[in-house]
């Protein structure tokens, strides 16, 4: 790999700490790799843990439900679905303001503060005794988790699975309350720890030398495009991002994949309980499909990054979800007389999770890397994540108590979502291919 040209950073886009050293930085491949390795090993573990626990804390209600929470809090009828929706409304509305506050306050303070905050809220959730109190804590949780990306979902089920004993010797903290108490406590500890580990930016990373900090900032500027110039918040950049058909297509695909992903995260224990398993057994059986999904997600994401192709990998995994939801939709035990047994339906869960949990991170990376400029990328990412987040509201209503035990309507909704996701990705790939051909013709 040849050494890249020097990257010029305009003074207006640099922090005060960088101005003395970043007038001209040569991006040497070996030095780049060393800095990237340092940043990855220092930042990625804590960030991945934060996003993992954020996802766990927003979806663990599904695990608590099968251990008796619905009986204790009288979550009959549509009350459980309403409580799930109560989280997503503030989560969506506060997402953009949360990102703005993060930029104003700085990630070193903002991200650990949010992590500790949602940990405290989940701790409080372990103490609620009424439906109204549960709704209130879900609303506050939505505010505290706004702005958190959706990483780490495949691992959440195993982390949320308690021991299979029907009652634990913790006084009032038994069965489903254990889930909220211990996961909230771990999130609180994680938030306090993150404050001492996360830097505000490469310019202030104490574990890097001055030259490494300058090189790290230059890498970011080079990756932004536009000659390293960081754009202001101008209408033309917002229009470029929002009015781009490719952004709309990827956002639609993200909405569909996140609808299915969130519904699986929230209702897999309920689906397993409807198959005839006890609450504790449903918890344990929910872990293997997520472990498999985690392996596929990490592998496909790494391969898509190495091969620099995104749409192909979404198309490679989503058909598995189509087949999985198709099996579940046809496996109505009442209508088919049990022709499709619990074993086949359990296997179908592996197929369902294979696609929907892998597609979401690949789609976000695809949208961002096809955008040039700081503002354009930020708006594209916010559009895809924000529009996709509305899938959580849909997901909260896919599996309804009156539809048990088959939950056919929910499976059909997810089947349709997976199909629309595939169509949107094919359309986006076609458009990008046409754009590339047009640009090559123009260069020629």
Q: Do 62 and 266 touch, CB atoms closer than 8 A? A: yes
Q: Which CATH number characterizes residue 140's domain?
A: 1.20.1250.20
What does the pLDDT look like over 68-93, one tens digit per residue? 898 999 998 899 999 999 999 999 88
* Ramachandran category for residue 144: left, alpha or beta (phi over 0 → left; psi -120 to 50 → alpha): alpha
Same domain? 158 vs 243:
no
pLDDT recorded at residue 223: 60
Same domain? 101 vs 171:
yes
Phi and psi angles of residue 328, each rounded to the nearest 5 degrees, phi first: -65, -35
pLDDT at 422 over 90: yes
Is residue 444 in a domain? no
Gap between the Cα atoms of 290 and 155, Å rounded: 6
Same domain? 247 vs 362:
yes
Same domain? 255 vs 304:
yes
Which of 230, 250, 274 is a domain's end point?
230
Same domain? 226 vs 242:
no
pLDDT recorded at residue 9: 35
Same domain? 371 vs 409:
yes
| Tokens representing residue 65 in the block | 């439900």
| Tokens representing residue 415 in the block | 């089947």
Give mean pLDDT, residues 282-294: 89
Please give the sequence-ordered ranges of beta strands (E in DSSP) within 280-369, or none if there are none: none
Greatest Cα-to-Cα distance within the chain, rounded to the nearest angstrom:
75
- Domain region containing 414: 231-435
Gap between the Cα atoms of 57 and 341, Å rounded: 32
Same domain? 59 vs 202:
yes
Is residue 391 in a domain? yes
Gap between the Cα atoms of 143 and 335, Å rounded: 43
Same domain? 244 vs 167:
no
If DSSP codes are grouped into helix, strand and coil, which group holds residue 7?
A: strand
Same domain? 65 vs 77:
yes
Same domain? 206 vs 264:
no
Same domain? 225 vs 255:
no
Q: What is the CA radius of gyration of the chain?
A: 23
Q: How many domains does the chain have?
A: 2
Instruction: Name the nearest CA neighbour of 353 among 273, 268, 440.
Output: 268
Alpha carbon distance, N-terminus to C-terminus of the chain: 25
Instruction: Name the nearest CA neighbour of 302 among 219, 385, 362.
Output: 362
Give mean pLDDT, residues 249-278: 91
Gap between the Cα atoms of 344 and 340, Å rounded: 6
Average confidence score pLDDT of the chain = 80
Is residue 442 in a domain? no
Give mean pLDDT, residues 405-415: 92
Q: How confident is the model at residue 212 (pLDDT cuts 50, 70, 90)?
A: confident
Which of 164, 199, 230 is a domain's end point?
230
Partnered with residue 79 across adjacent β-strands are none
What b/e readout covers 88-102, taking b as 16+ CB neighbours within 10 angstroms? Answer: bebbbebbeebbebb
User: 202 or 321: whose pLDDT is higher?
Assistant: 321
């Amino acid at each position: 790999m040849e050494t890249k040209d020097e990257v010029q950073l305009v003074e207006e886009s640099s922090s005060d700490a960088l101005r003395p050293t970043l007038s001209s930085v040569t991006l040497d491949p070996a030095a780049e790799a060393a800095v990237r390795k340092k940043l990855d090993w220092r930042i990625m573990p804590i960030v991945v843990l934060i996003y993992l626990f954020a996802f766990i804390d927003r979806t663990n209600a599904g695990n608590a439900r099968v251990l008796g929470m619905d009986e204790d809090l009288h979550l009959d009828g549509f009350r459980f679905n309403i409580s799930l929706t109560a989280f997503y409304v503030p989560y969506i509305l506060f997402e953009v303001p949360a990102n703005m506050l993060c930029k104003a306050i700085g990630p070193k303070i903002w991200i650990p503060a949010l992590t500790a905050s949602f940990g405290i809220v989940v701790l409080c959730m372990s103490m609620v005794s009424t439906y109204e109190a549960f709704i209130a804590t879900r609303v506050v949780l939505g505010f505290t988790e706004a702005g958190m990306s959706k990483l780490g979902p495949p691992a959440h089920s195993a982390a949320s699975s308690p021991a299979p004993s029907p009652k634990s010797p913790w006084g009032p903290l038994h069965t489903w309350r254990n889930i909220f108490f211990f996961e909230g406590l771990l999130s609180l500890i994680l938030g306090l720890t993150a404050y001492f580990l996360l830097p505000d930016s490469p310019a202030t990373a104490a574990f890097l030398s001055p030259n490494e900090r300058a090189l790290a900032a230059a890498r970011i500027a080079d990756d932004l495009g536009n000659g390293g110039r960081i754009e202001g918040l101008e209408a033309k950049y917002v229009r470029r991002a929002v009015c781009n058909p490719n952004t709309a297509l990827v956002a639609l695909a993200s909405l569909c994949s996140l609808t299915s992903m969130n519904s699986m995260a929230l209702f897999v224990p309920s689906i397993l309980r409807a198959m005839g398993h006890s609450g504790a057994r449903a918890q344990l059986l929910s872990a293997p499909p997520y472990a498999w999904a985690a392996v596929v997600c990490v592998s496909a994401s790494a391969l898509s990054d190495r091969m620099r192709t995104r749409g192909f990998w979404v198309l490679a995994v989503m058909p598995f979800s189509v087949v999985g939801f198709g099996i579940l939709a046809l496996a109505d035990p009442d209508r088919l007389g049990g022709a499709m047994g619990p074993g086949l339906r359990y296997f179908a869960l592996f197929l369902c999770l294979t696609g929907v949990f892998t597609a979401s991170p690949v789609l976000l990376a695809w949208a961002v890397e096809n955008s040039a400029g700081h503002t354009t990328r930020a708006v594209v990412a916010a559009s895809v994540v924000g529009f996709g987040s509305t899938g959580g509201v849909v997901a909260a209503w896919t599996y309804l108590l009156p539809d048990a035990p088959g939950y056919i309507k929910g499976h059909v909704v997810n089947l349709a979502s997976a199909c629309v996701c595939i169509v949107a990705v094919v359309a986006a790939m076609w458009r990008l291919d046409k754009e590339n051909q047009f640009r090559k013709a123009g260069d020629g």
